[in-house]
Amino acid sequence: MGQYIAPLRDMQFVLHELLDVTAELKALPAHAEVDADLINQVLEEGGKFTSRVLFPLNHVGDREGCTLDPLTHEVTTPSGFKEAYRQFVGAGWPALTCDPQYGGQGLPIVVYNPLSEMLNSANQAWYMYPGLSHGAYQCLHAHGIDELKRLYLPKLVSGQWTGTMCLTEAHCGTDLGLLRSRAVPQADGSCKITGGKMFISAGEHDMAENIVHLVLARLPDAPAGTKGISLFIVPKFIPDADGTLGARNAITCGALEEKMGIHGNSTCQMDMDDASGWLIGEPHKGLNAMFVMMNAARLGVGMQSLGLTEVAYQNALVYAKERLQMRSLSGIKAPDQPADPIIVHPDVRRMLLTAKAYAEGGRAFTAFVALQIDRELNHPDEATRKDAADLVSLLTPIVKAFITDNGWIATSEAMQVYGGHGYIAEWGMEQYVRDARINMIYEGTNTIQSLDLLGRKVLLDNGASLKKFGALVQAFVEEHGLDDAMNEFITPLADIGDKVSKLTLEIGMKAFRNRDEVGAAAVPYLRVVGHLVYSYFFARMAKIALDKLDSGDPFYKAKLATARFYFARLLPETAMLIRQARSGAKPLLDLEAELF
């Protein structure tokens, strides 16, 4: 069933050579003592756990899936999942970046980021159980009252309890303003919550002793729409004041969704019948509080597809080097074999390099975003925190949508390398394609992310946040614009930067007259900006590789070749995308609905 080896060399390159994270962290008092040795140790141990413990369970989880006992409403996870979680908790992994006040280790997000990639490469369905817990921790940490923090956070930090977010209902999907779940206040300060939620990842399972649900519902006096949504903490078992588990709460799994992929994760329909819940944050401000968890989830979904891109690439590469088919068009390459290995064929190289480039570009991009989160949370200078926050806000929808789109492309290309064998379950490649498909849908579809980027993050603030990223691009172009060796990277980088500026202005002007122009342009616009981001990081990585090309380390030669492939074969997609974005709303809306 293939293999997974954590790409430690490239991860270390990104952290230490591209971003110089130890120097960056010295400016953050909370992380000033974090050094390269500590970071590398975390990566190495993470690589061992993911490749030895989690990866062997990936196919098992896909084949077995989860089972629901309709009488007890209990869910059993696939063989080995529970024991792997016990090891994960025992090693202290859930606490890595959490607040020491609640038992966390207090390490920076940028150190956890590559671990997240490894966990998703090894077993996306398994990692969704503890992965959502961290978002619940962040939301409660930011908005919970002290009493709730003292009761719940230590258990979430340790991994003793896991967390979920219960937003979606059958009739409303993304439009949460339509949700109907209701909360009735009680004399003791709690609420009785009734309603049904669906698509709840890890909503019920046997891996932890308690599950902490963050639930959106309406109080009796709630106004209509999103302004009337409140957020509640609804535990599976209601804990006493000292954390001892008490009565079973009236929140149960009514059914498991039958899904295309991620079979090892229990995607649940959750039913609440006067379940006890406690308010988080202010009444009717629940969506604002939940956005902490939703944004964490959106970044996490990007990491899911990055992980799948990497593991699919790794296995396709091994297969391409071993599989013998036909002879090279330019002459025999393996005269001692009856045919050449398929890696000699140009289009197989294209497929492999597409996956490789999207993995390496995504790795650099997400590490940069993680570092900006650390700066936003911990930098002593307010202006620096604000700049970092603006960049994180701008880039979050790109992480979610661009990386998941690329993950779908990359896993499909990696499966194609196998030919007919890729479509057969025993090789494991078709699972990566199936698992990758959900990432474009949940936590806000990629169209929603595109509307968020163009409508809210760019046009609403007159492009101020986009200009902050553009300033990074411009500074790099000016610094290396006269370097002949960098011309092949600087010229297209400057060109796409200029095109993004012009395209943004053009769409903005159209949107003044017709807001449908935003909806029509949003999806291709996000991919264009995504390519601007990747171009920036590939140009930076190419500069490092050029400077170290004479070191004798073949890593830099490979990095340079990947950057050249990206600029030659992937970036040109933007020409088509820009024409699509400029075509406007008319070709989409001219045909009346009844004529479809």
98, two tokens: 């959490």
Q: Cα–Cα distance between 68 and 303 in angstroms, integer? A: 29
Name the DSSP letter for residue 227.
Answer: G
Distance from C-alpha of 564 to C-alpha of 491, rounded to nearest angstrom: 13
Report which secondary-structure segment, H or E, holds 252: strand 251-256
Which of 530, 398, 392 shows the shortest CA–CA distance to 452? 398
Inter-residue contact 182 to 194 (CB < 8 Å): yes
Distance CA 145, CA 160 (A): 21
Residues 6+ apart with CB under 8 A from 305: 120, 362, 403, 404, 406, 407, 408, 436, 439
Closest CA relative to residue 234, chosen from 184, 204, 289, 276: 276
Q: Is 264 exposed, middle or buried (0-12, 13-18, 19+ CB in 10 A)?
A: buried
Does residue 443 carry a catalytic annotation?
yes
CB atoms near residue 518 (< 10 Å): 21
The residue type found at 383 is A
Residue 158 near residue 130 (C-beta atoms within 8 A): no
Cα–Cα distance for residue pair 542/476, rounded to 1 Å: 12
The residues that bridge with 161 in the sheet, in sequence order, are: 210
Q: Are 468 and 344 in contact (CB under 8 A)?
A: no
CA max distance for the chain: 84
237's CB contacts (< 8 A; 6+ apart) are 209, 210, 245, 246, 247, 248, 249
Total count of residues recorded for the chain: 596
Report strand pairing: 161-166 vs 210-217. parallel
List of residues 6+ apart from 52 with CB closer than 8 A: none
- Distance CA(217)–CA(203), nearest Å, equals 17
Structure tokens at 260: 């295309």
Tell me how far apart the alpha carbons of residues 334 and 346 are, in angstroms, rounded to a whole number: 16
Exactly one of 24, 169, 413, 443 is catalytic; name it: 443
Per-residue 3-state assignment (H helix, E strand, C coil) for 294-348: HHHHHHHHHHHHHHHHHHHHHHHHHHHHHCECCCCCCCCCCCCCCCCEHHHCHHH
Closest of 428, 437, 442 to residue 123, by C-alpha: 428
Query: What is the SS3 assignment for 461?
Result: coil
Distances (CA, A) of 473 to 495, 538, 570, 574: 11, 12, 19, 17
- Side chain identity at residue 254, one-letter code: G
Give the Cα separation of 473 and 537 in Å (integer): 9
Count the Cβ atoms, other than its own, within 10 Å of residue 164.
28
SS (H, E, C) 30-67: HHCCCCHHHHHHHHHHHHHHHHHHHHHHHHHHHHHCCE
So which residues are the catalytic ones?
443
